[in-house]
A and B are shown apart, each in its own frame.
Chain A
């Protein structure tokens, strides 16, 4: 099974980075989250209800929809804030990439740890631009809003191809497919990583937190 990989690119102003990333990541997660599973006897299960919330952006003329889960929102915001800080601390060029990867866990026998097999990776390349005056900023607000709209349409297009999705798991396997740690929604297992590139285009600092920890942990 090949991992499906999608790349989206956005050019934004510094203060728009956070909202642009949140918009894209939440749109993807909206489609990749279900309600909580409740397993019953005889291997059957029922699914909880997912609520949605409109979020208006302050620095972009755009509104996006996210699942109504404050826990999930906090996790995503934290990751985006780290990415934004890393971008800000890098050189003045401000290019980076944030990746949202959906994976499945495959149990391995001892002494090997579980394998994480990605089945869909979304990479969002960000280019931060600096604007000189308020008029340019106003134009940027609208332009980035339109661009994000196009990204949402792209995301929806990809999702609606109905390509590979992990099979619905049995109760014992559910943690290998879904993130069951949240109390109101259940996204597919995912991880968010980011890379900052310097002006030469090479990756200066690669930050892969959980991935490195997982592969090295035995």
Chain B
């Protein structure tokens, strides 16, 4: 079968399939980041944009994809799958969809590799771009942040759809025939979105069990692990980690001709495209699934020297513990378990009402420590100052903080939300609405009306002149 294909064509086809697989993964993961994607058209080809589409390459995603492929290519019986799942802040998780890039045995011998196959793969990527915005997981991913995050996992081999629950639907994105088989791209997505209980989560441990509490050792060290669909511009220490930049020097032939492909100069980042902004454009102050709850009493347990708030690196080639996903607690929120039980529930936001033991003079939010230590070497991290340092109260296990909305500085009016809400609920009556006053003034008004009308009639010329100036 392969003997019909010239060596150059075979080489080209393998390269196309490899980069198609990598770009497919990029499109899928980027569509689940929770942000709108925006790339620029360029009329002059740079030679680095595969399939003539501007698709950014997130280095860690490429790294994960290459790791999963391990030098192989998707082929007959060897499918590449991207699994998208949702994980709540309580630890429940659920598979939402599985995208499968497969190949079957139906060959199209007559098709021209360097031209037709390439263009059809480009078309298929465009279809993938469109379809990724249509499946139910897209809307969920746009709202991720505080309550849940979206994770992805890439694996190679047999397709596993059992985690999608009953009644899952399949949508076919498209097919492209090649001389060695037909490439098919499809998505199986869950329709039953009732959240699984955490008991079920344990049962599916072998696939998803890696992401547990930050303080627990990973039980399944050899399993492919989940990664949050989040992207941050890599800091200097991350930039050199990924050898992917070397591989990206493989040129994509955008020139359909007999002339040799042009060399491309690789800028610092792959493809020379602008980086995806570090922060989600919407959602809360929490990063995608990476704000740790950080009781200061337990911070010595955290292995990395980077401190409890800075493990945003989703894949670090070195420390395995750094890649685990921490139990997520929204920024500025106290540990939920201790709060709810101790407050009376007759007031709204009672949990945030001032408590007897919450002394204002010890509250670091009202009197911030003189030099807030930089809590994270990575930029854009937004979380409460108190979670990283509360040196003022070394004797407490954790710090009680009043609820303060993000970015608010209320030194002038130290009023917490609960008090404000109470006052706002019972405003004093408006003076003009009290009945006696209005009745009196109405009668007076009526009496004075004829006089007023006489005056206005006298000054009618003035009014006309004024109206003219307006026109």
Q: CB within 8 Å of B: which residues of A?
A: 27, 30-31, 34-36, 38, 40, 42-54, 56, 61, 63-65, 67-69, 149, 152-153, 155-157, 159-160, 162, 168, 183-185
Contact = CB atoms under 8 A, between A and B. Distances in A.
Contact of A68 (B41, B52, B127): B41
Q: Which of B40, B133, B139 has the most CB of A within 10 A?
A: B133
B366 interface: no
B129 A68 contact: no
Nearest to B54: A51
Contact of B43 (A40, A61, A159, A183): A183
Contacts of B133: 54, 63-65, 152
Contact of A160 (B124, B142, B256): B124
B131 A153 contact: yes
Contacts of A155: 130
Contacts of A156: 127, 130-131, 173-174
A117 B203 CA distance: 60
B130 A64 contact: yes
A46 B46 CA distance: 10
A126 B162 CA distance: 40
Interface stretch (B31-39, B314-322, B408-416, B456-464): B31-39
Interface in B132-172: 133-135, 138-139, 142, 171-172
A51 B126 contact: no
Contact of B42 (A45, A49, A65, A159): A49
B219 to A, nearest CB: 38
A133 B350 CA distance: 36
Given A35-B41, A156-B130, A44 B259 contact: yes
B353 interface: no
Contacts of B341: none
A159 B127 contact: yes
Contact of A52 (B124, B129, B131): B129
Given A48-B44, A52-B129, A54-B133, A68 B54 contact: yes
B41 A67 contact: yes
Nearest to A31: B126
A139 to B, nearest CB: 16
B49 A49 contact: yes
Nearest to B49: A49
Contacts of A38: 43-45
B470 to A, nearest CB: 32
B218 interface: no
Interface in B103-138: 115, 120, 123-124, 126-127, 129-131, 133-135, 138
30 contacts: A31-B126, A35-B43, A38-B44, A44-B257, A45-B255, A46-B256, A46-B257, A47-B45, A48-B41, A48-B44, A49-B45, A50-B53, A53-B36, A54-B37, A54-B38, A54-B133, A63-B36, A67-B41, A68-B38, A68-B40, A68-B54, A149-B134, A153-B171, A156-B173, A157-B172, A160-B124, A160-B127, A160-B172, A160-B175, A184-B41
Contact of B256 (A45, A49, A50): A45
Interface of B: 36-46, 49, 52-54, 115, 120, 123-124, 126-127, 129-131, 133-135, 138-139, 142, 171-175, 254-259
Contacts of A160: 123-124, 127, 172-175
Contact of B54 (A52, A54, A159, A168): A52
Contact of A30 (B37, B54, B126, B174): B126
Contact of A44 (B124, B127, B255): B255
Contact of B254 (A46, A159, A183): A46
Contacts of A56: 36
A30 B130 contact: yes
Contacts of B120: 162
A35 B39 contact: no
A53 B129 contact: no
B259 A52 contact: no
A68 B39 contact: yes
Leading 10 A-B pairs by shortest Cβ distance:
A44-B257, A160-B174, A51-B39, A54-B36, A51-B54, A46-B255, A149-B134, A184-B41, A36-B43, A51-B41
Contact of A42 (B134, B171, B174, B258): B258
Q: Which of B36, B43, B46, B256 has the most CB of A within 10 A?
A: B43
Contact of A184 (B42, B127, B175): B42
A160 B175 CA distance: 7
A36 B52 CA distance: 10
Given A69-B41, A160-B123, A160-B172, 18 more contacts: A30-B129, A30-B130, A34-B52, A38-B43, A38-B44, A44-B255, A48-B43, A49-B53, A50-B53, A51-B38, A52-B53, A52-B126, A65-B130, A152-B130, A152-B133, A153-B134, A157-B172, A184-B41
Nearest to B36: A54
Contacts of B37: 52-54
A4 to B, nearest CB: 15
A42 B172 contact: no
A31 B123 contact: yes
B278 to A, nearest CB: 18
Contacts of A153: 131, 134, 171
Contacts of A47: 45, 52, 254, 256
Contacts of B38: 51-54, 68
Nearest to A142: B139
A47 B135 CA distance: 31
Contacts of B40: 51, 68
B139 A61 contact: yes
Contacts of B135: 149
A102 B96 CA distance: 37
A48 to B, nearest CB: 4
A51 B38 CA distance: 7
B93 to A, nearest CB: 25
Nearest to A54: B36
A53 B123 CA distance: 16
A202 B259 CA distance: 57
A96 B40 CA distance: 34
Contacts of B259: 40, 42, 44
Contacts of B126: 30-31, 52
Contacts of A68: 38-41, 54
